[in-house]
Structure 1
Amino acid sequence: MTTAPVPPARTGVPRPSAPSAPSAPSAPPELGCNGRRHRHAMDEATLWDMARRIPAALRRTARLAWTSARRMVTAIVVCRFLSGVATAVMLGAVARVLPHLTAPGPRVGLSRAAWALTVAVAAMAAGAALWIVADWSIRRLNPKTASAAALTLVGLHMRRNCRRTTRRASRTAAGPPRSAPCAPSTSPATPGP
């Protein structure tokens, strides 16, 4: 008589496990304004309150972009300005061309307008090229500014937690806090150029 084999789980011998697939990295924690004061701030904000804060937010953003990459900000401002100048030159040249093109005899009008048409095309090409360079600069600046903003936000969060920890430690009569004291960081908060 033959006996049926006993499954390994019943014998107390562990089964060899299949190699597990590497786990996907978890998403980074999100920092939010979940404090008591800020929980319903957007619900209570009016359009005037938000509009009043726009200039300060633009100043902070410009300052952050300037500290992140000065060359990119300079390139954006110069290229956008020169692109606007090129557009103005193109519109002026087109305004000079139109009367010649509406004159009787298309060949005569076209020959008189050739110089203005050349200027209009050249100004349009220069404006488009400058616009492309400015757009390229913006695309290079955005990640740097976003990482600088994230570092600033983390720094503010850490400073706030440090103050809270220090206040709690000073309230207790047990002596100094158990954790190391919070010291200001000596490393720059924004990446270099």
Structure 2
Amino acid sequence: MRLLLLISLIIFICSCKSTYKTIKSDTEKYYPASFISESTSLLYKTKIDAFGNYFSGLLFIKPQSSDSVRIVFMSELGLKFFDFEIIGNENKINYCLEALNKPYIVNTLVNDFRIMLLKVDAKKIKSKQIADSDISSIKYLKPKKTICKFQKPDDRVIELKHKSSFSKSVRITYSDFINKIPEKINIIHRYIKLSIELNLIEKK
């Protein structure tokens, strides 16, 4: 009962539309489509270990339009940890708990979710098929130093590696798909103390 009330609360929070300006890009896209659409909302049981701070709760992902998405993370008791929006090429921070509210941490979290949701403009540089496998790999010119691994027959993304600087190298894995929606997502940074584990609870 408490979980249902909390889900209703998160849905209510995310139902508020933002008037924030949407920025469109003319960059030609060679990137997989996001696994969420305007008609899809996802709720994940989530654990975040961020720079010595540990958080556990529910992460709600709600598309607001074709190029914007709301991400709200709350404890199961209703304490909100953060509330982000990805709008085109821009980010909006509606709320962030003081323990996480530092520019470096916030920017890293938002960028992780942007990459995880495949909400980026991209240009392909080269691709290759892994021998004797149904997995192919694509390296991207934009975003820089990004590699995606796809699995046939529907070319779902199963792994994504991105390196934006010497200190920022992240690996994202997707598994246990149901209708192209990953039930499990893991985000692990190589050089900094940040990891995120998501397990799907509900899809609407």
Shorter-chain TM range is under 0.3
> TM-score scaled by structure 2?
0.18
Higher share of residues assigned helix: 1
Higher share of residues assigned strand: 2
Q: Which has the higher contact order (CA 8 A, sep 6+)?
A: 1
> TM-score scaled by structure 1?
0.19
